[in-house]
Amino acid sequence: MVQNQHLFHIPVMGTGHSIDSPIRIAHLGIDSVISVVDDLLCEKIRKHYSAEYGLPYKNIPRTAEDGRAERIAAYLDSVSDIVSQKFEGLKQAALYCNTEKDRYFQLLPDTNPLKTSYEFIASLKDKDTRQKYIDDLTEKMTPGSIDVNIMAKVDALKMGDDDQPMSSEFSDASAALRGFAQSKLSSNVVLSAGFNPRLYGYLSEFQDFYRDQSGKAKKAIILKVSDFRSALIQGKYLAKKGLEIAEFRIESGLNCGGHAFASDGLLLPVLLQEFREKKEQLQKTFQPMIKSFYESQGWDYPENDEEIGKPRITVQGGIGTHGEMRRLIEDFEMDATGWGSPFLLVPEATCVDEFTSGVLADAGVDELYLSNVSPLGVPFNNVRGSGSEIHKNEMIEKGKPGSKCPKGFLVSNTEFTENPICTASSQYQLLKINQINESDLPLDSKEKQKNSVMEKTCLCTNLGTGSLIRLGIMKPSYGRQAICPGPNIAWFNRSYTLDEMVDHIYGRTKSLVPEERPHMFAKELEMYVDYMETLMQQIDPESPEMRKMTKMKKNLDEGMEFCLKIAEQKPYEDENLASIKTAVERSRQRLNHLMAVEA
């Protein structure tokens, strides 16, 4: 597997906002991640780009027996073909003539050996020598990786024609994995949103995840994890099957885009410190298990290479300045970083429609919030004023809450039906509202519960709508666009070119965000206190749940002590360490008040 030429990647964003990011920027050497939750969206995007790039296209109908896997594989193959086409064209371009090939090297971090060579060659005068160096440099160019995200727990079993659940390999996550495995891609699958033993076991059925006779694997596994213990448990489970983890991708529990999987108050710097201190344990734990598996199969496993079986450790969630990235890489020894939400305002990199781009550019701190709109029942980072919110409120005013649920990827509730339905569907919401109306609850409690029911939104469809509008597949008048930025985007207030954003990441230009922007560690701390306050409003002080609150406060207290130590260090350029101390002082007061009130 070829590692990223850059010190950042673009993570998955919604179902549609990064769905064509590789087509946009992989030829420039930048890694990005596609969501394949919505295979029907993939099919529409494939049709669009097949026409644009002259690729053959044949529709894969919804009735196809293994349609989900086939649609995903077909889309990924098309993306691979387009990226290859663009990259080979780029390699043939002239250098030092202000071409896209020059841009490839100019975007690289200044420490990258390819960029050093590029700048050296520019100084050469002899034509033949210069051309030889250019040819050698061209051969070393690599495109960005076309990575694929699968939410492990979004794994509904499909129903057959007899209205009975189909076998497990046709579940949503398994079919998505099969689509990736059967594609021509040589890249990574990013497994997120929890541990799914059934899906992890299914990985072992695809040879591409194992090393061949040359010692290389065509496809690799990235695990998005919440803490070191989770990384160790999941890694051991896979290692017993001979499956290696190429990368552990650590994400802030709350200070991120999309679904927020909060920890018990374990702050990101605390988690990163543990990974830094124990990362050698990962390789030492997994590698003997992997070797043992290969031996049991009669396969050869590479020897005498210290990097074999050594997973990369990367981090994402709320990074907003070059200084913050330097701290993560230099102090916490992370291999690279993920920058998501800021790229939603980079049209060259992501697929966001004009209306939603305007909403994001105008959004301030108060417009970005942790919502309850997700049918998964998991907190969801959201922005006020989206097309989805407008449409939802219009339908509620008409007395028609909920969605028709045309895709059903998030069905899980069996409160009223034998087969699972989605809590954002009209079917569920009308049944639930009727139940609430017939209850003996006080009127104000009824209204509160009904509002909570109607808050759920159809994410399956709406998270992909903006991409369809942006590509001209759907008319803007349809609206309903949902988007899931992290709170970090409050400090980015316009559209940016790819060059502007990359130069900002590498500190090669004046920072795109103001000095008063709080440090990512400060923002995460305040979000956890907000989250804890919300939880405490929902539980009885005598409830066993209070033990969880006590544990969360203890972890936050310990995390704040560590944050203060960071705040005392010398800041990197554009790193607002002073905001960490302010956030700790404010958060301590709030936490002490919260616990005193409940006591």
Task: Give me the mean pLDDT over the 157-186 stretch.
Answer: 81
Query: Measured on CA atoms in the order 461, 466, 467, 471, is the torsion positive or negative?
Result: positive
Contact at 8 Å (CB) between 65 and 161? no
Using alpha carbons, list the distances in angstroms from residue 162 to 60, 216, 410.
22, 43, 21
How far apart are alpha carbons 395 and 239 in whole angstroms? 49
Q: Which range has the worst mean pLDDT, 160-164, 234-238, 366-370?
A: 160-164
How far apart are alpha carbons 239 and 288 in whole angstroms? 9
Mean pLDDT score of the chain, rounded to an integer? 92
Give the three-class secondary structure for 328: helix
CA 470 and chain centroid, separation: 21
For helices 578-598 and 520-536, the axis angle rounded to 10 degrees is: 10
Task: Give me the mean pLDDT over the 489-498 stretch.
Answer: 97
Tokens of 561: 């002590």
Binning pLDDT at 50, 70 and 90, where does residue 3 land?
Answer: low
Identify which of 484, 468, 479, 485 has the alpha carbon closest to the alpha carbon of residue 387. 479
| % of the chain with per-residue pLDDT over 90 | 77
How far apart are alpha carbons 522 and 583 in whole angstroms? 6
How far apart are alpha carbons 189 and 180 in whole angstroms? 8
Higher pLDDT, 377 or 36: 36
Task: Give me the mean pLDDT over the 90-101 stretch.
Answer: 96
**486 forms bridges with which residues in the sheet?**
none
Higher pLDDT, 152 or 82: 82
DSSP string, 268-324: HHHHHHHHHHHHHHHHHHHHHHHHHHHHHHT-----S-TTTT--EEEEESS--SHHH
- What's residue 157's pLDDT? 67
Binning pLDDT at 50, 70 and 90, where does residue 49 land?
Answer: very high
- What's residue 542's pLDDT? 76
Of 2-11, 206-215, 304-313, 543-552, where does the model show the most confidence? 206-215
| % of the chain with per-residue pLDDT over 70 | 96
Of 153-167, 185-199, 496-510, where does the model show the most confidence? 496-510
Strands 380-383 and 368-371: antiparallel
> Counting Cβ atoms within 10 Å, is residue 277 exposed (0-12), middle (13-18) or buried (19+)?
exposed
Residue 50: Cβ within 10 Å count: 18
Q: What pLDDT, in 10s, does the model give residues 233-273? A: 999 999 999 999 999 999 998 999 988 888 899 999 999 99
Reply yes or no on whether the pLDDT at 229 is more than 70.
yes
Angle 52-54-56 from CA coordinates, rounded to 5°: 120
Binning pLDDT at 50, 70 and 90, where does residue 194 land?
Answer: confident
Domain map (residue ranges) of the chain: 1-159, 353-482, 518-599
Higher pLDDT, 504 or 458: 504
Residue 541 CB contacts under 8 Å (≥ 6 apart), including other chains: 598, 599
- What's residue 158's pLDDT? 67
Reply yes or no on whether the pLDDT at 1 is more than 50.
no
How far apart are alpha carbons 572 and 25 in whole angstroms? 29
- What's residue 256's pLDDT? 92
Reply yes or no on whether the pLDDT at 580 is more than 90.
yes
Residue 475: Cβ within 10 Å count: 9
pTM over 0.85: yes
How far apart are alpha carbons 584 and 562 in whole angstroms? 10
Binning pLDDT at 50, 70 and 90, where does residue 460 land?
Answer: confident
For 94, phi then psi, to 5°, come to: -75, 155
For 203, phi then psi, to 5°, come to: -55, -35
Q: What pLDDT, in 10s, does the model give residues 273-320? A: 999 999 999 989 999 999 999 999 999 888 766 677 789 999 999 999
- What's residue 163's pLDDT? 61
Reply yes or no on whether the pLDDT at 588 is more than 50.
yes
Identify which of 362, 330, 357, 333 has the alpha carbon closest to the alpha carbon of residue 345. 357
- What's residue 306's pLDDT? 67
- What's residue 358's pLDDT? 97
Identify which of 3, 91, 94, 76 has the alpha carbon closest to the alpha carbon of residue 39. 76
